[in-house]
Structure 1
Amino acid sequence: MTHWLYLHLRAIAHAVRRLAGQPLGTLLSALVVGIALSLPAGGLLLLDNVAGMARGLSGTPEISLFLELDAGEAEVAAIERRLKDEAALASYRFVPRDEALAQLERSGLGDVLGGLTGNPLPHAFVATPASEDPAMFERLAAEMQTWPRVAHVQLDSAWVKRLHALLELGRSAVLMLAGLLGLALVIVTFNTIRLQILTQRQEIEVSRLLGATDRFIRRPFYWFGGLQGLLGGGVALGTVWLGVRALAQPVAALAESYGAVFAITGPGPQESLAVLAFAAFLGWLGAAISVRRHLAGG
């Protein structure tokens, strides 16, 4: 284990010396990788922020349960117990028929309601699901419609479906872009490692004559590609954060014009680690393909 760690530390040191020995080339490669990765990373971040802003502007989607007009306190209590036991719900509230009528009167319909001899409105519950998945809404609505004394269930999920459809379309487009750019970055690393192998051809031959194994020779190139990708991932995160800082004020002004409070957020720790890991993997993959292609058979 100690010998294995020593070999990898030695390979890392060798790769770092190579990167530091050509600062301009390292900087340009990191910029190419970083700018390319910042496009899909920023796109996914933008989609997440747009979804949060849309939820803030449109409110939380809800499910309304309207009971039958003659439903009494026992039936109301039974429905409330069912709602309390439903794990898929985040919260619920009871709207008595008298309160619903008072809300309509306050909304400017007092003249219309004044001609009624009684209260035509039923008791109701307004439930908020824990998830905004449209399939969850449909399942809950279908289940609640079968409950005793429930006359009608109304979904507030039309905008949720449209939002999910748009976000899925956006994510698919961003993932396709990430795949294409990832392929381009693998090619860039492939050519970089190929040039490294060509410039070190004599050194590699001497190492083989001295008994170096293929694994020993290839290991620094793997680390070179991985570290180059990691540097590019850092540039991508920096680019995304600069974009977040630049858009923070315009987005806040837009949200304020709609009467909402919203602030665009940058990538969190998990997203940042994912970008760095993906960039390092692309660098390693390009290096692995290049090494296997140009060092095969010696």
Structure 2
Amino acid sequence: MAWLTQHQAALAAAFRRLWATPLNTLLSLFAIGIALTLPGFGFVLLDNLRDVGQSVAGVQQISVFMDVAASRKDVAEIESRLKQVSTARVTFVAREDALKRLQKSEGMAEIVASLPKNPLPDAFIIEPANTEPAALEIMKKELATWPKVAHVQLDSAWVKRFDAFLRLGKLALWMLAGLFAAGLVAVTFNTIRLQVVAHAAEIEVARLIGATDAFIRRPFYYYGALQGAFGGLLAAGLVLLALKLLAGPVSELAELYGASFSLGLPGPMHVLALSGAGGFLGWLGAQLSVSLSLTQFD
């Protein structure tokens, strides 16, 4: 109970110190909030981009085009082999059906009518159960070796490039977050140092009456942690505001491309993560500052 009472008293003292200088507290919170806003916004934006990539990619398909000279028997043999070696969903597209679909396309009716014969081959559309890029590449290479198979198409190159871009963006954001975290620790360090200087007489008296270093340090630790946590909440609010402002233009842009997309807003876990990160960095800055500043009283 004594330990809990001491921590409650330290927390109350930290709140009083925050409230005692509202202008300085507000400016510090804005500095911390802005430092956390850019990394927080970047990670939420990356999550939205990942969702866009998954929705655009849709179901991964492999298109197997038969030789134009392939007979019905050859097509039947390939279909039988596909059903035996793969658990994927297989759809057969006859060359006649493909020509009819092409003929219905805008501006293609006259071109198709002028063709002396059907140039399109029979094809199979495969939807593999295992959509890992490596597994799809192996299946593509195997299918290409089958007899009477003219071409195998796998449109996954852009998916790989998009995934590589997301990984690069995530790495860049982590580096940026590290730089801003160092700046946040520096801001807290300076703020706590000023607090220690302002309460120098109080610290001297507390030491004279037997107060331990842990007792003296504790309110400053809570002060730094609270400042960082509130700054994190401010950053979450700024991220939410920015996403709400962007939601309308992004939806309109998606509609122009015939898609339906809305920006995902940060959830409670994102808010807790920003507030927790701010609190931890504030506590770290306070610990470094107090440890260095109290040496002048030794």
The TM-score, its normalising length taken from structure 2, stands at 0.82
Is 1:245 matched with 2:244? yes
Per the alignment, residue 228 of structure 2 pairs with 229
The equivalent position to 1:95 in structure 2, one of 84, 88, 91, is 91
1:229–1:279 Cα contact (<8 Å) kept: yes
**Counterpart Cα distance in 2 of 1:53 and 1:116:** 38
Pair 1:40–1:5, CA change in 2 (3 A): same
Partners of 1:41 and 1:275 within 8 A in 2: yes
Asked if the contact 1:182/1:282 (under 8 Å) is kept, the reply is yes
1:195 aligns with 2:191: no
How many angstroms apart in 1 are the aligned matches of 2:218 and 2:99?
A: 74
Q: Answer yes or no: is the 8 Å Cα contact 1:193–1:225 preserved in 2.
A: yes
- 121, 141, 144: which one pairs with 2:137? 141
Q: CA RMSD in A?
A: 2.8
- After superposition, give the CA deviation of every residue in 1:226-253 in whole Å (9 maximum; x if it has no partner): 0000110011011111111111111111
2:62 equivalent among 64, 86, 105: 64
Percent identity at matched positions?
Answer: 42
The CA distance in 2 between the partners of 1:178 and 1:101, in whole Å, is 57
Structure 1 moving runs of 4+ over 4 Å: 109-114, 143-153
Distance in structure 2 (CA, Å) of the matches to 1:163 and 1:61: 16
Distance 1:79 1:124, change over 3 A: farther
Query: Match for residue 122 of structure 2?
Result: 121
In the TM superposition, residue 74 of structure 1 has moved relative to its aligned partner by 4.4
The structure number with the bigger radius of gyration is 2
The one-letter code matched in structure 2 to 1:79 is: V
**C-alpha separation in 1, matches of 2:4 and 2:160:** 52
Q: Distance in 1 between matches of 2:82 and 2:158?
A: 29
1:260 aligns with 2:259: yes
Q: Using the alignment, how far apart are the partners of 1:47 and 1:76 within structure 2?
A: 38
Q: What is the deviation of 1:186?
A: 0.7
Stretch moving more, 287-296 or 147-156: 147-156
How many Å apart are 1:219 and its aligned residue?
1.1
How many equivalent pairs are there? Answer: 279
| Secondary structure, aligned partner of 1:96 | strand
The amino acid that maps onto 1:293 is L
SS in 2 for 1:125: strand
Pair 1:79 & 2:99 matched = no
5+ long unaligned stretches in structure 1: 84-92, 131-135
Quote the offset at 1:66 in angstroms. Answer: 3.1
Residues 188, 115 of structure 1: CA spacing in aligned structure 2 closer, same or farther, 3 A cutoff?
A: same
Cα distance, 1:268 vs. partner? 1.7
Return the offset for 1:120.
Answer: 4.0
